[in-house]
Amino acid sequence: MGTAAIEVRGLWKIFGPKAERIIDSPDAGLEPAELRAKTGCTAAVRNVSFEVRPGEVFVVMGLSGSGKSTLVRCLTRLIEPTAGEIAIGGQDVRRMSSSQLRELRRHRVSMVFQHFGLLPHRRVVDNVAYGLEIQGIGRAERHEKARRILSLVGLQGHEDSYPEQLSGGMQQRVGLARALAVDPEVLLFDEPFSALDPLIRRDMQAEVIRLHREVGKTMVFITHDLSEALKLGERIAIMRDGEIVQVGSPEELVGAPANDYVADFVRDVPKSTVLSLRWICRAPEPGEPLDGPELPADTVIHDAVPAAMSSARPIRVVSGGELVGVVDRVDLLGAVRRDGGPALTASAGEA
Amino acid sequence: MVSAPVQAAPPVSAPPRARRLVRWAPVAVAVAAFVVLYAAFRNTAVLPHDDDATLFHWLNDARDWVDENRNSSPIFLFVVNYVRLFVAELYTGLQGALDALGWPGLIGLMGGLGWLAGGWRVALVALAGFGGIGVLGKWDASVDTLALALTAVLLSLLAGIPLGVWTGRSDRVRRVVTPVLDVMQIMPTFSYLSPIILLFLIGPASATVATMIYAMPPAIRITALAVQRVPATVVEASESLGATGWQTMRKVRLPMALNTIMLGVNQTIAAALSMVPLVALIAAPGLGVDLIQALARVNVGAALVPGLAIVLIAIVLDRISRAAAAGRARSRRVRWSGFAALTAAGLALTPALAPEFPEQWEIQIVRPINDVVDWIEAHWYPVTGFLNDTVAYGLLNPLQNTLTSAPWWLVTLAVLALAWRVSGPRPALVAGACLVGVAVLGLWQHGMETLTIVLVAALITIAAGLVLGVWAARSDRFAAVLRPFLDAAQTMPSFSYLLPAVALFANGRFTAIVASFVYAVPVVARLVEDGLRAVPPTVVEAARSAGSTERQLLWKVRLPMARSSLLLAANQGIVMTLAMVVIGALVGAGALGYDVVAGISQQEDYGKGLAAGVALVLLGIMLDRITQGAHGRRNPHKKRNA
């Protein structure tokens, strides 16, 4: 199963009576609505395959009802998949006994939930230490570790509060700390910031980016917010009706949407902030000067503006030492202008 | 529903009045048909009472067989007798322990528990309440009653909480347990006394088991509810961290459900205490014995003293368990040190003070109360007598004559039609079958007599409850005045309502009606009020903005939208009325309730008493099914979501 941190092949989850019979029947090809009308079953995840590389932030994005939350729960079998293969760190999750599965959840994969899932009758420090407690770790040791993690997420001084005394953003930091406390290889996030106010959500996204830099965990992040997906994801999978429509980097999704659905999704994204020079550079015209500033091909268009402002000559776009094309001021302005007015409403509209 | 074929007429709906006529026409026709049939078949196919029915003798023989084989049949030898011994030993042990504390020790312990659960206020209530029991001069009997109630509560919780957890966790268990609990709660408490003494003989063991049947359902129901209400996300979070099922249960579900479960404990205690006078019929020691004897002699003063003692115990235990359910308040150290201090103080006083509650502290209230009762009888008779006679001659006698002179099949048919109209075909068939069952048991006449009292009492209760509930829903001020009365009424053990009724109206059917009225009206009024208040404010606002008057709001918006609450109120009112009317046998309401009492006290009437108990259950189920539209008819098209 290679070197992937998580590998999923042909995963299905169908809710309802005799679900496993549907997989191999022609009914499996039906649209979810038709399937429900015909069999009373609901297909939440349909034949999904993807890989997550070690240390990567992999985002699964989709509207509500697209099956993304079911998908992430299938990874550690919080919801039992109907069919398909799942490997985490090369180990077959679906073959695991219940005790092996518990070990996986205790030590290797932990999860952050949309509604936090904190225990109201326990102090913050005991909430964070909960995962260690059920592993059988002694009180002194687990509290020591919990306190360290709490300061990592910026909650020092709140150890003895009860969850209800904290704001939503702080509660989710506790949820994050609880997931981090067991030092897992993989962190799963199920729409962790959807219940938070926009400003706090932005802080928390920055927090995740910072933590990813500091601790370097593999992360699977579920969201329905495109701007959040573009901000956090190294690669993004777009789900619709239980299927993955496209997997790719933010640039690939915005620059080359696989179909109308994805195109419609990314239409209002300000392209100059996502796409790189590679997408707009052109072959130099005869006689065009080639002694302008030099920028790598993966520079985001927006970031090339200062270079263009400081020099009137076309920017040389290079990749691996080779010249791949040039971009002049008109090209840049054109790219920025295409984003036009809607750019503002697009990012605000996601909230 | 009549689905009209393709209509040639233009889609103009009939005027509302005409449509209403069409809808009520079948009802009018049915009523007319019943009147005609009654006139035609009156006094045919009636089933007069016969004390020597074969079934009664057959049941007596069965009783004799059990008595002969009690010490040889393996079921008794290895199961039933051991259960009886265990329960009796548990009671003896608890009783001994409470006795050993001495009266200062027990008062101190109660104060300490009050402090532990709710601070100084509850501690004060507990100290005053148990001190008051001593002052009433009923200390020893109260200790017996407390021990019996605690035995039953303890066993109910030991069995009920795990069963409740299981019920809350498994749909399959819930489908089995729920209907059983329904029947357990519909059954009038009298009905199971006879079979229990057959198994466990008379005494504390039988009393404990009878109390458990009544007290366990709330423990199971509320625990199941509490466990179900634990948010799924928290459970999921625990599972995602690799907790075992048991770890999630112990560290997540139970702690989060604890406060609600304590509410179940509260309900269980209340139910257990309301059984005290009834189990005295099967020779349970304690306050109930004095109470029953005093009631039989219509000595209100002598009945009021043990009655007050039970009410005091009920109030103290209610406040303590309710405070415990309300959750953590202060620091653990303050709570436990207060508990320890009060308990230790009480225990320290025990050896120092006399073992008996000092007689000079007791207050005799029997004579003054009886003087008051005598005065009421002498001076209020024109009013009480008038009320009594009006209800007896105006309502009870005509209704009873009608029911007993109508052919049994006509009554059954009427029940069938009524239940069908209100609740649908399946409940109607069950209700009809239950009534036929009463006839088969040979208790038709007595059944109809009981039914008469229940119907009259329920009619008065529901009418009054409706008025009070509507008024309370419309006026916050009235609701604020009413609420403390309703709260207090729900804490009281049910029989305590008999006492003022006896004081005013002496013994008889009307007393039972008054008692069940006082017993059931708070619940009916509260359900009506809650239902009306639960109507979404947006709907009310929309209707008001369209220019509705208050009256239109009530009749066109609030009452129709609260339909299911109103039906539930009627259902509860009728079931509670039945329970109380049966207990009314203790104050001369007669009929089936009296058959049960006689069956317990007289050997040769055992069979009739047992049959009467079954008949009461059947009547209970019948009345419940007739009004079951409240539970929401199950829609077969609505599938459960995965």
Q: What is the pLDDT of residues B64-110, one digit of tens each?
A: 887 777 777 777 777 888 888 888 889 899 989 988 888 888 888 99
Chain B residue with the nearest C-alpha to that of A108:
B241
DSSP three-state, residue B636: coil
Question: Are A131 and B242 an interchain contact pair (Cβ–Cβ within 8 Å)?
Answer: yes
pLDDT of residue B330: 59
Question: Are B238 and A103 an interchain contact pair (Cβ–Cβ within 8 Å)?
Answer: no
Closest alpha carbon to B447 in B415, B420, B423? B415
Beta strands in B416-566 (DSSP E): none
Q: Is 50 exceeded by the pLDDT of residue B147?
A: yes
Is B8 within 8 Å of chain A by CB? Answer: no
pLDDT of residue B629: 66
Q: Please spell the DSSP secondary structure of B67-93, one letter per residue.
A: HHHTTTSHIIIIIIHHHHHHHHHHHHH
Strand partners, A111: A188
Q: Is 70 exceeded by the pLDDT of residue B1?
A: no
pLDDT of residue B314: 87
DSSP three-state, residue B224: helix
Between CA B490 and CA B512 the distance in angstroms is 18
Between CA A275 and CA A297 the distance in angstroms is 10
When pLDDT is averaged across residues B259-271 and rounded to a whole number, the result is 86
- b/e map B446-469, b = 16+ CB within 10 Å: bbbbbbbbbbbbbbbbbebbbebb
Determine the angle formed by the axes of helices B509-533 and B444-474, rounding to 10 degrees. 40
Beta strands in chain A (DSSP E): 6-15, 42-52, 57-62, 83-88, 91-92, 109-112, 186-190, 218-223, 235-240, 243-248, 294-296, 315-319, 322-327
DSSP state, residue A268? T
Q: Is 90 exceeded by the pLDDT of residue A239?
A: yes
Residues 253-292 of B with CB under 8 A from A: 255-256, 258
pLDDT digits (tens, 9 = 90+) for B304-336: 888 888 888 888 998 888 888 776 555 677 788
Question: Are B233 and A76 an interchain contact pair (Cβ–Cβ within 8 Å)?
Answer: no
If you search the block for the tokens 């709330």, which residue do you land on? B218
When pLDDT is averaged across residues B395-406 and rounded to a whole number, the result is 84
Strand partners, A244: A239
Question: Are B233 and A116 an interchain contact pair (Cβ–Cβ within 8 Å)?
Answer: yes
Cα distance from N-terminal residue to C-terminal residue, chain B: 32
DSSP three-state, residue A52: strand
pLDDT of residue B570: 86
If you search the block for the tokens 């009981």, which residue do you land on? B450
- Judge contact between B497 and B485, C-beta under 8 A: no
Minimal Cβ distance to A105: which of B242, B256, B639? B242
Chain B residue with the nearest C-alpha to that of A73:
B240
Residue type, B197: I
- Judge contact between A272 and A301, C-beta under 8 A: yes
pLDDT of residue B328: 59
Residues in contact with A39: Cβ distance below 8 Å, sequence separation at least 6, in sequence order: A16, A22, A27
Between CA A82 and CA A11 the distance in angstroms is 8
Pick the range with the lowest mean pLDDT from A80-84, A88-92, B128-132, B532-536: B532-536
Between CA B66 and CA B63 the distance in angstroms is 5
Strand partners, A326: A282, A316
Tell which wins on pLDDT, B288 or B639.
Answer: B288
Per-residue tokens: B273: 């205490």
- Judge contact between B117 and B321, C-beta under 8 A: yes
Within a 10 A sphere around the Cβ of B496, how many other Cβ atoms? 23
Between CA B308 and CA B325 the distance in angstroms is 25
If you search the block for the tokens 């179909």, which residue do you land on? A259
- pLDDT bin (cut points 50, 70, 90) of residue A48 is very high
- pLDDT bin (cut points 50, 70, 90) of residue B372 is confident
Question: Are A117 and B256 an interchain contact pair (Cβ–Cβ within 8 Å)?
Answer: no
pLDDT digits (tens, 9 = 90+) for B466-523: 999 888 888 888 888 888 777 777 667 777 777 778 777 777 788 888 888 888 888 8
Determine the angle formed by the axes of helices B366-379 and B381-391, rounding to 10 degrees. 70
Residues in chain A with CB shorter than 8 Å from the CB of B238 are 117, 130, 134
Q: Is 80 exceeded by the pLDDT of residue B253?
A: yes
Within a 10 A sphere around the Cβ of B566, how many other Cβ atoms? 23
Between CA B117 and CA B131 the distance in angstroms is 19
CB pairs under 8 A between A and B: 73
Per-residue tokens: B342: 């009060």
Q: What class has domain A271-349? A: alpha beta
DSSP three-state, residue B31: helix
Q: Is 80 exceeded by the pLDDT of residue A149?
A: yes
Q: Could you tell me which CATH number the domain at A53-266 has? A: 3.40.50.300
Q: Is 60 exceeded by the pLDDT of residue B615?
A: yes
Question: Are A102 and B255 an interchain contact pair (Cβ–Cβ within 8 Å)?
Answer: no
Residues in chain B with CB shorter than 8 Å from the CB of A78 are 236, 239-240
pLDDT of residue A2: 52
Closest alpha carbon to B103 in B126, B129, B130? B130
When pLDDT is averaged across residues B417-442 and rounded to a whole number, the result is 86
Between CA B89 and CA B623 the distance in angstroms is 39
- Judge contact between B207 and B150, C-beta under 8 A: no
Residues in chain A with CB shorter than 8 Å from the CB of B262 are none
Looking at chain B, the whole-number percentage of residues with pLDDT higher than 70 is 93
Closest alpha carbon to A58 in A225, A214, A187, A227? A187
DSSP three-state, residue B590: coil
Between CA A66 and CA A13 the distance in angstroms is 12
Within a 10 A sphere around the Cβ of B352, how many other Cβ atoms? 8
Report the largest interatomic distance among the alpha carbons of chain A, rounded to a whole angstrom: 75
Residues 148-167 of A with CB under 8 A from B: none
Work out the mean pLDDT of chain B and round it to a whole number: 82
Minimal Cβ distance to A40: which of B240, B242, B639? B639
When pLDDT is averaged across residues A274-281 and rounded to a whole number, the result is 83
If you search the block for the tokens 């191999």, which residue do you land on? A24
Residues in contact with A238: Cβ distance below 8 Å, sequence separation at least 6, in sequence order: A61, A62, A244, A245, A246, A247, A253, A261, A262, A265
Between CA A351 and CA A346 the distance in angstroms is 9
Residues in contact with A163: Cβ distance below 8 Å, sequence separation at least 6, in sequence order: A116, A118, A119, A120, A122, A124, A127, A171, A174
pLDDT of residue B301: 82
pLDDT digits (tens, 9 = 90+) for A283-296: 888 888 888 888 88
If you search the block for the tokens 């509302």, which residue do you land on? B16
Minimal Cβ distance to B236: which of A15, A113, A120? A113
* Cβ neighbourhood burial of B490 (10 Å; 0-12, 13-18, 19+): middle
Question: Are A117 and B255 an interchain contact pair (Cβ–Cβ within 8 Å)?
Answer: no
Strand partners, A13: A45
Question: Are B251 and A15 an interchain contact pair (Cβ–Cβ within 8 Å)?
Answer: no
Pick the range with the lowest mean pLDDT from A13-17, A103-107, A274-278, B628-632: B628-632
Residues 62-91 of A with CB under 8 A from B: 73, 76, 78
Residues in contact with A67: Cβ distance below 8 Å, sequence separation at least 6, in sequence order: A13, A44, A45, A46, A239, A241, A242, A243
Residues in chain A with CB shorter than 8 Å from the CB of B241 are 105-106, 110-111, 130-131, 134, 178, 182
DSSP three-state, residue A13: strand
Minimal Cβ distance to B241: which of A40, A110, A121? A110
The secondary element (H helix, E strand) that includes residue B209 is helix B204-229
Between CA B143 and CA B146 the distance in angstroms is 5
Within a 10 A sphere around the Cβ of B609, how many other Cβ atoms? 26
pLDDT of residue B327: 66
Dihedral of CA A207/A209/A212/A218: which sign?
Answer: positive
| CA dist list (Å): B27 to A132, A297, B170, B417 | 68, 85, 43, 9
Q: Is 50 exceeded by the pLDDT of residue B45?
A: yes
Backbone angles phi, psi at A173, to 5 degrees: -65, -35
Between CA A274 and CA B601 the distance in angstroms is 91
Residues 187-246 of B with CB under 8 A from A: 231, 233-234, 236-244
Closest-CA distance, A120 to chain B, in angstroms, reads 8
- Judge contact between A278 and A324, C-beta under 8 A: yes
Per-residue tokens: A333: 């302005």
- pLDDT bin (cut points 50, 70, 90) of residue A344 is very low
Question: Are B251 and A133 an interchain contact pair (Cβ–Cβ within 8 Å)?
Answer: yes
* Strand A109-112, strand A186-190: pairing: parallel
- Judge contact between A109 and A188, C-beta under 8 A: yes
Report the largest interatomic distance among the alpha carbons of chain B, rounded to a whole angstrom: 97
**Domain ranges in chain A with CATH number 3.40.50.300:** 53-266
Q: Which CATH architecture has domain B67-229+261-355?
A: Orthogonal Bundle (1.10)
Closest-CA distance, A117 to chain B, in angstroms, reads 4
Minimal Cβ distance to B237: which of A101, A113, A182? A113
Tell which wins on pLDDT, B629 or B269.
Answer: B269
Per-residue tokens: A27: 């009914």
Question: Are A105 and B252 an interchain contact pair (Cβ–Cβ within 8 Å)?
Answer: no
pLDDT of residue B355: 73
- pLDDT bin (cut points 50, 70, 90) of residue A95 is very high
Strand partners, A295: A317
**Domain ranges in chain B with CATH number 1.10.3720.10:** 380-631
Closest alpha carbon to A303 in A273, A281, A280? A273
Closest-CA distance, B637 to chain A, in angstroms, reads 12
For residue A183, is it left (φ>0), alpha (ψ between -120 and 50) or beta? left
- pLDDT bin (cut points 50, 70, 90) of residue A129 is very high
Backbone angles phi, psi at A262, to 5 degrees: -65, -40
Q: Residue B569, CB half-sphere, CA atoms under 13 Å: how many?
A: 29
Say whether domain B380-631 belongs to CATH 3.30.1490.20.
Answer: no
Tell which wins on pLDDT, B579 or B7.
Answer: B579
Is B329 within 8 Å of chain A by CB? Answer: no
Pick the range with the lowest mean pLDDT from A253-257, B240-244, B630-634: B630-634
Question: Are A134 and B256 an interchain contact pair (Cβ–Cβ within 8 Å)?
Answer: no
| CA dist list (Å): B226 to A260, B219, B318 | 48, 10, 19
If you search the block for the tokens 């009690």, which residue do you land on? B70
Please state the ipTM of this predicted complex. Answer: 0.77
**Domain ranges in chain A with CATH number 3.90.1280.20:** 271-349
